[in-house]
Amino acid sequence: MLLKELNSNGFGIFKDVFKTNFNIEYAELFDNLDPDVLDSMLNLNYGQRNVISNIDDSNKQLIIKQILTINVQRWIKIKNLLYLQYDVSNPKFTESKTGTIKTDNDSTLTGLNGVKPFNEQNFTDNEKEESEKNQTETKTFNTTNIKEGSTNSDDIITSIQKEIEFRTNTDNYKYVLSDISNMLTLKIY
């Protein structure tokens, strides 16, 4: 059976299963779009694909409902990411650095204390003093810098072009239609 045969004769995947069983999620994903439009788009784009053999008219609603149950929350998350609002011309970059600095200071001090008796010209060695100083210092640091904007206008132009290309090539209808088709049809394409 072809996908367009499964999704016809008064039965529509979006009309009879998606919107009926997942009304809130349907509205969140597709707003007020008529489900017949999505059924037509599914048939137009993927209708010639062969449906997997264990799906027939008696179990198609149950299987489609199970597929939607498993995937609908993921589709909503993807849509929310796709429509996330941000300023492409003023990007924010977060840079984090973590590290340790270790400093070793070793020093030795040797000194003589001399004594000069009364009426003597030279000092005599009284005692020799030696001291050692060992100092180790370890510092751990974590820094986070948030930079805004770009100093190069070419970066901004490139970012806007990439954003436009991404937004025109990606919409929530395409990935939902593609996912449903891929889960219902054979992988011979």
Question: What digits encode the pLDDT tens for the residues 113-172?
Answer: 666 666 777 766 665 555 666 677 778 877 777 766 555 556 777 877 887 777 776 677
If asked whether residues 75 and 164 sit together in one domain, one would say yes
Length of the chain equals 189
If asked whether residues 15 and 107 sit together in one domain, one would say no
According to DSSP, the residues that pair with 143 across neighbouring strands are 97
If asked whether residues 62 and 23 sit together in one domain, one would say yes
Question: pLDDT at residue 189 above 60?
Answer: no
Q: How far is CA 168 from CA 46, 160, 171, in A?
A: 20, 12, 7
Q: How confident is the model at residue 108 (pLDDT cuts 50, 70, 90)?
A: low
If asked whether residues 28 and 77 sit together in one domain, one would say yes
Q: How far is CA 155 from CA 88, 147, 152, in A?
A: 10, 14, 5
For residues 91 and 148, the answer to whether their CB atoms sit within 8 Å is yes
On whether residue 108 sits in a domain, the answer given is yes
Share of the chain above pLDDT 70, in %: 74
If asked whether residues 84 and 39 sit together in one domain, one would say yes
If asked whether residues 16 and 51 sit together in one domain, one would say yes
For residues 3 and 42, the answer to whether their CB atoms sit within 8 Å is yes
Q: H helices within the chain, ranges in order?
A: 3-6, 19-21, 23-30, 35-46, 60-82, 153-169, 172-184
If asked whether residues 12 and 37 sit together in one domain, one would say yes
Q: How many domains does the chain have?
A: 2
If asked whether residues 68 and 122 sit together in one domain, one would say no
Range of the domain at 106: 93-145
On whether residue 189 sits in a domain, the answer given is no
Region 50-63 average pLDDT: 93
